[in-house]
Amino acid sequence: MSTGREIRLIEEDDGWWSAIDEEAGVASQGPTRQEALENLDEATELTAEARNDDTAAPEPDAPWFDS
């Protein structure tokens, strides 16, 4: 079942993968493409729960948010 999400996958210089859902404003990473996507799914779900509960999401600690 498709959620209609558009996700960017980037292979970083160190071999890790970044997965970014710009519409949701969520990003994650992992040592493989699959793990990066799984981590993104988890981060997206937790962010949605926090937004619905009016709970502040943790501050991003990722290099792609520094630009």
1-60: per-residue pLDDT in tens? 556 889 999 999 999 999 999 998 999 999 999 999 999 999 999 988 888 887 566 676
pLDDT class for 66, splitting at 50, 70, 90? low
Please tell me the distance from the alpha carbon of residue 65 to that of residue 6, in angstroms, as a whole number: 18
Structure tokens at 22: 């710009």
- Residue 48 is predicted with a pLDDT of 87
Q: Taking the model in full, what pTM does it have?
A: 0.71
Is the pLDDT at 61 greater than 80? The verdict is: no
